Structure 1
């Protein structure tokens, strides 16, 4: 029986574990914290040297004494990462993440440099929102020309980690897509990259993460105790890896991740256009295959703020019965780090409405959970206007909160199927590395999901939320004007 050493690099932790051929964890998951460096400027970055050291250490711990049984490695990592390297492969910047807002105010200048914004969206499948690193690249070129002049390699998070393990500058289509300048056929877009002030030749080679593997450096093989020539699968981004473990990208099933950020996606054979809303991203898995939907910036990042303000811990949200559906009129619009659409986008901030003298902290807390659920509903409505999705499958740390998952089922009016395994990214990456994208992957994912917990929508609650949703989205649409006014005021 061969083992896969599978690695999952998130914004808060880097994890690694051994996975057997049936998609089951073999031994203990190893974890090292990769806390973001942040400050009042909006930075949310990883130190690349520390991340590389953590990668090698967590892999060594996971391999332990099983090197001779490991026949491949697998890697999944977060979207929207960006790091610049010099000719010698040394970082010139830290690795910025989706939570980084330093280039938020710069976004209009980037759009002006691009010109036809709608055409950029149609060519890449990526809506024009500030989180895409193409905007950060333009910002660096304008504000730090000395760094731009020394840049030899423009890398996403996957490409940086693959270089550390293989010595090659390679990424996969899904992670490369998150830079915002890869076209829907899988080629780097010369026009967009040229607008940033950089060149196509500085970007990594892009691989089919569902099938392609790259040999590890001999020194890495020795470090891990594996056979020389052992290869690592290019894999997909973290949300794609979770989906592979939960469905194998089956029809009629939506897939989500529920952690610091979140997602709602479905497989599609072609991009989905959303020019008016600018919400939907058609993430390229490989040419001719897309994982379409949207990310949600604010999930546990929003509730962590809530708990900090209330002086409570996670048990409060998990074990306290929180108010009633609709939170007694309190509505939270949880856009504390902006959102990934054209209405809220780079001008977003948190808004709470409906507080009154009779409001309680339980009303406020429930409104936070409901507000995040409405973010998922907004994506579902755009993706599934004819209600063809039969089930929504969720993974990620926050899916362990049963109260929140029931709210999700009620708001979406959809069966929510939650895995009890917290390591679906690790497992999904390993399953793809072993089985590719065919029927064996689907069968493996079915076995993995047999023990999942199902939350059925409560009819009377779903009816309340259906009535509330129209009001919620109407207010959300109207928020753009005051958010813009706030942005103008803060700039004065």
Structure 2
């Protein structure tokens, strides 16, 4: 009789429930979408009860054709860097301020007045930024004092669902890293950060390993979800770090890249990577004893999607008529342009930039346009610009690890043309696994299996994933991109003052 692992991936647009067998087979998945409220220019909130409704609905759907008693564990991957204030009964006191919210700029400045950027970076593994939970909690304290006063714990998305299932207030180390209150060196809440910011440390949940079995599903939550009462609930982790496990990035020096709307490169190390320019940051890994250094850019697949929607209307129409993906036709055009796009450079900063620039005012640009440029050069330059930007992050990590290959996941990994561009820009072998968009849920499922003892260790991920194709770098192309790389960097720096001026318009 088959046994199952149920993983919930609580993302920004919805929850994806995925069922795996303990042999590593994907059985089925269900998605439940929920709303995100964007307002006041850069405020972004979600209703936590929507998360719970999503988990209940998808769980019931997943369990329709199996015996609920055959589910050996439920685990989670979830959006990070949020701030949900709940009372002693776990009742939300307001909507959750999610990762994308940038309202806490004044609170970030307040922290900078109390501690140097470098010291903060060395304690938390991250920069001071409105993106993180600490700044958001300070905003609540400063602007909604009654809610702050009544807050018993602050939670992230998966932590709230764990409470709903078990009645326990916990978080794991990976999600705790995203609060910027965790001391990454000791894996304890930082007394120094708590002291200098004046937050109440008692409002922070208990810290646990990602493999920790929080408890069993309660009778009430069993009734609402369809799970068997007593089913073990395992902490799981933040979505980006679960993706590391789900992509097989589980050993010292292994690297992977997720290419979706945004994109990141991350690796697995035993110690944090502290970049002298703070271009990258660090998460506590799902796997005990490891760290996941990371750099995330804002608009990777987002740039390609913009290209499709705004520049490639002809290709999109043709694709609709043929019943194929427009990206397939666009890729055919891109392949006609040589490496370097005949000297055309694209800066992929359509949404400002996090790593490696950390400049919210950065803007996109095509630089070097000439009369002889063809449409396919413009298309190719967009994919190259994303890869060149990610390569800056990769070069930081190459100083600390001997990286010879990279696993690439996410929707952007589907296209062979883009994978070849990545191989050539990075001068690395690019590995495409069998599952491109299941890494986060797969990482959560494996974490659950290790937690309940079904799996001995995280090496079992090799039962789940298989490499389907490999792109080897083309030497002449890699040489060309090496020549372009410093020009790409100079293009950005030459426009920094222009970006400041544009931001004032």
Fold-level similarity (TM above 0.5): yes
* CA–CA separation in structure 1 for the residues paired with 2:369 and 2:149: 52
Q: Contact 1:177–1:284 at 8 Å: present in 2 too?
A: no
1:465 pairs, out of 467, 481, 485, with 481
Are the structure 2 counterparts of residues 85 and 306 from structure 1 closer, same or farther at C-alpha, using a change threshold of 3 Å? farther
* CA–CA separation in structure 1 for the residues paired with 2:495 and 2:152: 42
Q: Contact 2:279–2:358 at 8 Å: present in 1 too?
A: no
Aligned to 1:109: 109
* CA–CA separation in structure 2 for the residues paired with 1:25 and 1:111: 45
Aligned to 1:29: 29
Aligned to 1:408: 422
- Asked if 1:446 is matched to 2:465, the reply is no
* CA–CA separation in structure 2 for the residues paired with 1:458 and 1:13: 39
Are the structure 2 counterparts of residues 428 and 343 from structure 1 closer, same or farther at C-alpha, using a change threshold of 3 Å? closer
Aligned to 1:174: 174
Query: Alpha-carbon deviation of 1:197?
Result: 4.6
1:316 pairs, out of 310, 316, 326, with 326
- Asked if 1:42 is matched to 2:57, the reply is no
Aligned to 2:242: 241
Q: Contact 1:130–1:345 at 8 Å: present in 2 too?
A: no
Deviations 1:266-321 (A, max 9, x none): 11111111132342324354664211222233222333333333364593333322
Q: Secondary structure at the match of 2:299?
A: coil
Query: Alpha-carbon deviation of 1:84?
Result: 2.2
* CA–CA separation in structure 2 for the residues paired with 1:118 and 1:109: 14
Q: Secondary structure at the match of 1:257?
A: strand
Query: Alpha-carbon deviation of 1:240?
Result: 2.3
Aligned pairs for 1:388-403 (under 5 A) are: 388-403=402-417
Q: Contact 2:103–2:130 at 8 Å: present in 1 too?
A: no
* CA–CA separation in structure 2 for the residues paired with 1:365 and 1:45: 35
2:368 pairs, out of 354, 365, 368, with 354
* CA–CA separation in structure 2 for the residues paired with 1:427 and 1:14: 14
Aligned to 2:322: none
Are the structure 2 counterparts of residues 478 and 167 from structure 1 closer, same or farther at C-alpha, using a change threshold of 3 Å? farther
- Asked if 1:433 is matched to 2:433, the reply is no
Q: Contact 1:190–1:199 at 8 Å: present in 2 too?
A: no
Query: Alpha-carbon deviation of 1:204?
Result: 1.4
Aligned to 1:156: 156
Aligned to 1:82: 83
Q: Secondary structure at the match of 1:64?
A: helix
Query: Alpha-carbon deviation of 1:78?
Result: 2.0
Query: Alpha-carbon deviation of 1:200?
Result: 1.2
Q: Contact 1:343–1:477 at 8 Å: present in 2 too?
A: no
Q: Secondary structure at the match of 1:345?
A: coil
Are the structure 2 counterparts of residues 349 and 2 from structure 1 closer, same or farther at C-alpha, using a change threshold of 3 Å? same
* CA–CA separation in structure 2 for the residues paired with 1:36 and 1:81: 13
Aligned to 1:300: 301
Q: Contact 2:75–2:444 at 8 Å: present in 1 too?
A: yes
Deviations 1:133-154 (A, max 9, x none): 3223333433444543443322
Query: Alpha-carbon deviation of 1:4?
Result: 0.9
Query: Alpha-carbon deviation of 1:451?
Result: 4.3
Deviations 1:330-369 (A, max 9, x none): 3222233333347433433434433445545543332222
Aligned to 2:342: 328
Aligned to 2:260: 259
* CA–CA separation in structure 2 for the residues paired with 1:387 and 1:281: 15
* CA–CA separation in structure 1 for the residues paired with 2:103 and 2:310: 24
Aligned to 2:12: 11
2:439 pairs, out of 398, 421, 424, with 424
TM-score (norm 1): 0.89
Q: Contact 1:125–1:271 at 8 Å: present in 2 too?
A: yes
* CA–CA separation in structure 2 for the residues paired with 1:72 and 1:438: 9
Are the structure 2 counterparts of residues 116 and 252 from structure 1 closer, same or farther at C-alpha, using a change threshold of 3 Å? closer
Deviations 1:394-416 (A, max 9, x none): 22222222222222111111111
Query: Alpha-carbon deviation of 1:172?
Result: 0.9
TM-score (norm 2): 0.87
Query: Alpha-carbon deviation of 1:20?
Result: 0.8
Q: Secondary structure at the match of 1:429?
A: helix
* CA–CA separation in structure 1 for the residues paired with 2:102 and 2:419: 29
Aligned to 1:208: 209
* CA–CA separation in structure 1 for the residues paired with 2:103 and 2:328: 33
* CA–CA separation in structure 2 for the residues paired with 1:374 and 1:50: 38
Aligned to 1:132: 132
Aligned to 1:220: 221
Q: Secondary structure at the match of 2:45?
A: strand
Query: Alpha-carbon deviation of 1:58?
Result: 1.1
Are the structure 2 counterparts of residues 325 and 174 from structure 1 closer, same or farther at C-alpha, using a change threshold of 3 Å? same
Aligned residues: 487
Q: Contact 2:222–2:229 at 8 Å: present in 1 too?
A: yes
